[in-house]
Amino acid sequence: MDITALLATTPTNLFIDGEFVPSDTNDTFPVINPSDGTRLARVASASEADARRALAAAVRAGTDWANTPSRERSTILHRAFELILDHGEELAWLQSLELGRALPDSRAEVSYGAEFFRWFAEEAVRIRGDYRHNPTGTGRIVVTHQPVGPCLAITPWNFPLAMGTRKLGPALAAGCTMIVKPASKTPLTMLYLAQLLARAGVPRGVVAVLPTKNASNVSALLDDPRLRKLTFTGSTAVGQQLAARAARHSLRVSLELGGNAPYLVCEDADVDQAAQAVAVAKMRGAGQVCIAANRFLVHERIAAEFTAKVSEVLAGFRLGRATDEGVTFGALSGADQVTTVQKLVDDALAQGATVASGGVLPTGLPAGGSYFPATVLTNVPTTADIAHSEIFGPVVAIQTFATEDEGIAMANDTPFGLAAYVFAGDTGRALTIAERIEAGMVAINKGTISDPAAPFGGVKESGVGREGGMEGIGEYLEPKYISLL
């Protein structure tokens, strides 16, 4: 891939009303490559005035887009799906450059992210209504669905493409307009997607992309009554603050917030299978995934065997520059993330945990990169911060339990409930455990869980609402009741 040519053809201005334009203040901010600390580009930084201009365009375009036949909206989404695949290598390289993530993971995200447009292209033509008599026989009830209206999507840095398509797909399918604020660490992928959406036929004003170094410039739209929905993926603290602000105008809200996923390995589990699944459940994106396995809860009788086999799995990963051949996990998103993970590991070690394997950076890594080694910790005490915090790094922190009830209690001992993983030899037992775990999503005997055709979301302090699946489009539709005689 010619990186210079790729960056030269990637927009760096704001996308407002169908055009790429500079900020009204001409302000910019740098995008840094975490693999080596070099600057990739300078991107326009949206002001509050830019955000208001994007919302005005979304309002103007809203009526026509809502009235566009669902088949036409579906066709546009299908075109967008195809364009993403046609430009898959460009999108994969952009993600790896601005995120530091290894190319195999970025290529996987291209396929995953594209699928949300295909899935919701098919859901667009299946929006249903209802007709029925009321129980007293004195009238008829007609229920139809209308688009919520202009939406604001705030997306995180760890999935620069898919976190946008997972929100844009259902919004566009439902007939909503949307303003997207990508993370300041990774804005290039979403700006590249904006030009593909324009080529697919998305009308002017229907989609805006507003990178900014000052998030409050865009979140100021929550105080504008013309905005009708907020969809946010990110930390629990920030999401709850934004939701409280959105409540002032009774906005619809969808939140995908923090996770602390338990990885429960029962005594009768296939230990080889459970260890191999760590390669995806923990190591995808160097562990910087909201549904990444976080707390490895292993039955005490198989803990030593599991630890040894997981150590072998992690030893097979090659750390390095994201775009180098053969690299299977890359840098963390920045020096700040390295610091966060290191503090969690240091605290665990200070409280008695031990390093079972890894923990040392290989030689020859690019200078200036934000790297952290694959690490397996054992004897992690329940008092350690790493047992209660989202790690967002390539660290397997192992705790043990003696009974099934104890393991489930440990799994549920968190205010979060996004994802969970259960490994057990008996399927009925695994299902029973899955039903008892407090999480919005549970994977049984595998390390993958996300699917565009399935509802994605959490319980407790991990969020509100669902993305993907048949449920996803409902987040962007308002049911309207019409009463007839």
| pTM, entire model | 0.95
**Closest CA relative to residue 91, chosen from 180, 6, 210:** 6
Taking alpha carbons only, the member of 343, 348, 238 closest to residue 295 is: 348
Contact 439, 458 (CB under 8 A): yes
Question: Strand pairing partners for 262?
Answer: 295
Residue range 261-452 in CATH 3.40.309.10 = yes
pLDDT band at residue 358 under the 50/70/90 scheme: very high
Task: Give me the pLDDT at residue 36, please.
Answer: 96
Burial status of residue 126 (CB atoms within 10 A of its CB: 0-12, 13-18, 19 or more): exposed
List residues with catalytic annotation.
256
What does the chain come to in residues? 485
Classified as helix, coil or strand, 415 is coil
Q: Which CATH architecture has domain 3-257+462-484?
A: 3-Layer(aba) Sandwich (3.40)
Tokens of 333: 């998103």
Residues 6+ apart with CB under 8 A from 25: 45, 47, 49
| Terminal Cα-to-Cα distance of the chain (whole angstroms) | 66
List pLDDT tens digits, range 266-283: 999 999 999 999 999 999
Rounded CA separation 277/293 (Å): 10
Q: What is the full DSSP assignment across 16-48?
A: ETTEEE--TT--EEEEE-TTT--EEEEEE---H
Q: Which pLDDT value is given to residue 33? A: 97
Decide if 396 contacts 278 (C-beta within 8 A): yes
Compute the distance between CA of residue 272 and CA of residue 257 in angstroms, rounded to an integer.
31
> pLDDT category, 397, cuts 50, 70, 90?
very high
Domain segments of the chain as ranges: 3-257+462-484, 261-452
Mean of pLDDT values over 181-204? 98
Summarize pLDDT for 463-475 with one digit per residue, the tens: 999 999 999 999 9
pLDDT at 26: 97
Gap between the Cα atoms of 453 and 435, Å rounded: 21
Question: Is-contact 262 421, C-beta < 8 A?
Answer: yes
For residue range 279-337, list pLDDT tens digits in order. 999 999 999 999 999 999 999 999 999 999 999 999 999 999 999 999 999 999 999 99
How far apart CA 208 and CA 363 sit, in angstroms, is: 43
Q: Are 45 and 27 in contact (CB under 8 A)?
A: yes
